[in-house]
């Protein structure tokens, strides 16, 4: 092979590898559809990214046509400071530059797509007509929000986890006097591989009432969270899709979200 021929081959290979790398970058930054494997979604849409009033809609995907079928809706409230992009099943590239990213203690609810992984409550299991894994809340049960703890962003029994009762890590008690956690659905934001400081202990739970807000969870009336918990089917891989109205409109067709009038 002549020197000139070898040079042409090398140039051709470099051009090919450059094209492959460029295609990789393009694919890597495409907003992959995180809803591809689910058949149930809980869609929460807020009026703006900074408002704490929202609407919650539930949909099931039709097995024959892949169309979304509406089930029920209800008013909801989110974090005091609105929404910030969380760590979930969506790609970080869907975030528009300048939009906030969720952090511990920011009083924002996570924006994005998140798995729903379990139900906790104060009710006796025999009283619950649900298909989701259910854990009855005990007196020493807590969700750990201490970024230094090995149990960060986990709900644990203090005794089983070996937590020091006189010097426990920062946490939220799951057994509350106000009853807001009488029934909660765990939202897998920043889970199961939590990044310290990216936010913790995000639930769907009972609200204090319309016009209120949360510290970062999504809340609704007691009868609605009971209905929601009974509707969730683990075999359908249900997801929480939580977006501002602006981002819902931007991502609706890309993710194949159902069309709602907002």
For 60-78, the pLDDT digits (tens) are: 998 777 899 999 999 999 9
For tokens 């970080």, name the residue.
Answer: 92
- pLDDT band with cut points at 50, 70 and 90 for residue 3: low
The β-bridge partners of 85 are 101, 111
The answer on 198 and 125 residing in a single domain is yes
Whole-model pTM? 0.86
Tell me the average pLDDT across 230-258.
97
Lowest average pLDDT, out of 25-39, 52-66, 78-92, 247-261, goes to 25-39
Q: What is the pLDDT of residue 243?
A: 98
Q: Look at residue 210 and give its three-state secondary structure.
A: coil
112 contacts 257 by C-beta, under 8 angstroms:
no
Please compute, for residue 86, the number of CA atoms within 13 A of its CA located in the half-sphere on the CB side: 33
The answer on 47 and 24 residing in a single domain is no
Q: Is residue 194 part of a domain?
A: yes
Q: How many domains does the chain have?
A: 2
Q: What is the pLDDT of residue 28?
A: 42
Distance CA 77, CA 203 (A): 12
Distance CA 61, CA 239 (A): 12
Q: Is residue 262 part of a domain?
A: no
Q: Is residue 177 part of a domain?
A: yes
Tell me the average pLDDT across 147-163.
92
Tokens (6 digits) for 96: 């528009």
The answer on 55 and 14 residing in a single domain is no
Q: How far apart are the first and last CA of the chain?
A: 68
The answer on 4 and 85 residing in a single domain is no
Tell me phi and psi for residue 69, to 5 degrees: -110, 125
Domain that holds residue 98: 37-255
Q: What is the CA radius of gyration of the chain?
A: 22
Q: Is residue 141 over pLDDT 80?
A: yes
């Amino acid at each position: 092979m002549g020197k000139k021929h070898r040079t042409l081959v090398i140039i051709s290979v470099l051009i090919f590898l450059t094209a492959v790398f460029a295609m990789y970058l393009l694919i890597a930054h495409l907003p992959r559809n995180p809803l591809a494997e689910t058949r149930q979604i809980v869609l929460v849409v807020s009026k703006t990214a900074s408002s704490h009033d929202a609407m919650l809609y539930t949909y099931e995907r039709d097995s024959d046509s892949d169309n979304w079928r509406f089930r029920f809706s209800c008013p909801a409230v989110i974090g005091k400071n609105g929404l910030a992009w969380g760590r979930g099943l969506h790609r970080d590239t869907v975030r528009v530059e300048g939009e906030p990213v969720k952090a511990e203690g920011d009083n924002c609810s996570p924006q994005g797509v998140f798995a729903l992984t379990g139900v906790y409550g104060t009710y006796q299991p025999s009283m619950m007509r649900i298909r989701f894994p259910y854990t009855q809340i005990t007196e020493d049960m807590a969700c750990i929000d201490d970024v230094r703890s090995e149990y960060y962003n986990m709900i644990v029994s203090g005794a089983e986890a070996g937590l020091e009762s006189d010097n426990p890590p920062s946490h939220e008690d799951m057994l509350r006097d106000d009853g807001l956690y009488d029934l909660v659905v765990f939202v897998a934001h920043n889970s199961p591989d939590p990044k310290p400081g990216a936010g913790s202990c995000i639930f769907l739970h009972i609200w204090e009432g319309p016009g209120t807000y949360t510290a970062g969870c999504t809340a609704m009336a007691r009868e609605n969270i009971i209905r929601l918990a009974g509707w969730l089917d683990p075999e359908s891989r249900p997801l929480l899709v939580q977006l501002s109205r602006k981002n819902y409109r931007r991502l609706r067709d890309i993710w194949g979200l159902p069309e709602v009038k907002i």
